[in-house]
Amino acid sequence: MEPTETSEASLRGQAEIWRFMFSFADSMALKCAVELRIADIIHSHGGPITLSQIASRIDSSPNSPNISYLSRIMRLLVRRKIFAVNHDCHSDGGGETLYGLTDSSKWLLRDSELSLAPMILTEDHPWLMAPWHSFSQCVKEGGNAFKIAHGREIWEFALKNPEFNKIFNDGLASTSKVISRAVISGYKHGFDCIGTLVDVGGGTGDMIAEVVKSYPHITGINFDLPHVIATAPNFDGVSHVEGDMFQSIPKADAVFLKFILHDWNDEDCVKILKNCRKAIPEKSGKIMIVEVVLRPDGDGLFDDTGLVFDLLMLAHTSGKERTELEWKKILEDGGFPRYNIINIPALPFVIEAFPE
């Protein structure tokens, strides 16, 4: 008997639920590839490589790598187009499967200047995965998912746990390099008339260092909490200042905030923005916010990822990603009634805002 249209639709629906149920397998396989440095092994070989050659380069002493396990993990990653395969055919019809890089796996290169590998190790770490299991409790009772999972909020957890602090800062530093390139290339002339720039919540200073490198006329200030500044390296043209953005922000011609306001609720964002307002000149000052602008019905390259980032905020902070209307509201309440949203070649946008 031929299946009806309804039953075909039902089967498709069932298949989708199976796919979503086990979608974590994609991120776990991706994490495995980063931990084993598979992309780096292929890259250092200079071209496509056999599974045995990959296995021979994996540090697994005192035992040999399990090639059967590796094959199964690579099979999924090939299907997801993280790696490519082709066949080294011989005249006798034999040959071996060769694994190569794709435009996706090039972002997994640990030794590349632009890499998302540290962020994968951060976000897929058990410490940061655990809060996702608290979503239903948050819906029922409210509260902070990270605190439910670990007994304290993420910033206090980082303060008390040096290992987590390093993993977290390494992940953020890797994304800073990627996004800084996009900001510098996509936000043309946005830094031209700035003498001093303070990066609020700048982590270990990678972002402000990239800006100063491209615009040497700028004096950079990297501003963050004391335990973060304590691990920050030296950069030419950048001074590290410790403090609390809820108390005050160092004076500068302009303020830069990358992925900061999405960590906080609207009330806290307004407090931060008001302190930014006090830190810049009345007439010529501005702030530059690098954040997601949610477009729930959008079909842009990163619109879907923006919605996932919003749940990331639910898992890790008390914040959220925002639509343009939501940004407009907190900017006005914080003393910035005029703003522009600028597309850059990356997930976030640049929102430049002015006090008048």
Q: Which of 263, 235, 130 is nearest to 177 (CA)?
A: 235
Question: Is residue 120 packed enough to be buried (19+ CB in 10 Å), middle (13-18) or exposed (0-12)?
Answer: buried
Nearest to 24 by CA among 99, 103, 107, 126: 126
CA–CA separation, 296 vs 278, rounded Å?
Answer: 34
Interatomic CA distance for residues 5 and 286, integer angstroms: 58
Return the exposure string of 6-44: e unless at least 16 CB atoms fall within 10 Å of the residue's CB, then b: eeeeeeeeeeeeeeeeeeeeeeebbbbbbebbbbbbbbe
Contact 48, 1 (CB under 8 A): no
Question: Cα–Cα distance between 270 and 244 in angstroms, integer?
Answer: 15
221: which strand partners?
198, 239
All residues at 6 or more sequence positions from 258 whose CB lies less than 8 Å from its CB, including other chains: 176, 179, 183, 199, 201, 202, 207, 289, 290, 291, 348
Report how far residue 276's alpha carbon sits from residue 270's, in angstroms, rounded to the nearest whole number: 10
Residue 196, SS3?
Answer: strand
What residues are annotated to the active site? 262
